[in-house]
Amino acid sequence: MLHVSTFGLLFLEGMGVPGIPGVLPMMAQVGLIDAGKTSLEAAIFWGTLGNWLGSLCGYALGRWGGRFLPERYQGQLNSERATDLLRRYGALTVVASRTIGALRTPVTLGAGAMNYPLVPYIIYSLLGALIHIGLWQWLLWRFGMQILPHLERVGAQALMAAAAVVALALLGRWWLTRRRGLTSPASEDPKSEVLKSKPLKSQLAGSRPMQSQPPERQNLD
């Protein structure tokens, strides 16, 4: 039952519902792990699954069901701050919104409202949920309650590391695309091909064998 409760609470948290104490089920999971009734991997799995699917539900509400949201959430659909962050930083904003509570609701709903591409959102929100749940659950299991005051700082450092990884991946993708474009045969200038072929033709023309002349007849007289 605790796995179901963990999934449900973190689903609501991931959806963007404010005031959900997502850390409580993770603390309860630590007790079960210590008692040998579950594993750290199972706790991270159920928490990540709930947070991730909740974020997809919030995205769907922002994109297709905004009119059904309560009035107090209507303003989150067109949050200028969230829209600006999504346009400027894209993937990093989606990943960070899983951990930073102030961004979770406006980014989750706003991404759907601004028609942020669905497939990238699915991938980035999964990465963000895994970082958020995995880090918090591991720290609570490893260090216990005394780590709670320091989790926000550690979470920010983890996000910075994740941002560096995402930035390097995007840079590598850009470099590979540019390199393929430069080495593609279609990218060569047709004029340069003509210039390259002229010396070869001239060389072939110059090396063409001369026709042999018939020998002169000797005067036998």
| pLDDT tens, residue by residue, 165-188 | 655 666 667 777 777 777 655 444
Looking at residue 40, its pLDDT comes to 93
Confidence of residue 118 (pLDDT cuts 50, 70, 90): very high
Euclidean distance between CA atoms 172 and 180, whole angstroms: 12
More confident residue, 151 or 53: 53
Ordered by start, the domain boundaries in the chain are: 2-180
Helix (H) or strand (E) holding 212: none
Closest alpha carbon to 147 in 2, 19, 23: 23
Euclidean distance between CA atoms 109 and 17, whole angstroms: 11
Give the pLDDT mean for 200-221: 49
Cα–Cα–Cα angle for 94, 96, 97, rounded to 5 degrees: 65
- Report pLDDT digits (tens) over 128-158: 999 999 988 998 888 876 665 665 555 555 5
Euclidean distance between CA atoms 153 and 158, whole angstroms: 9
User: How many alpha carbons lie under 13 Å from residue 220 in its C-beta half-sphere?
Assistant: 1
Q: What is the pTM of this model?
A: 0.64
Residue 160 tokens, joined:
């910075």
Signed CA dihedral, 156, 161, 162, 166: sign only: positive
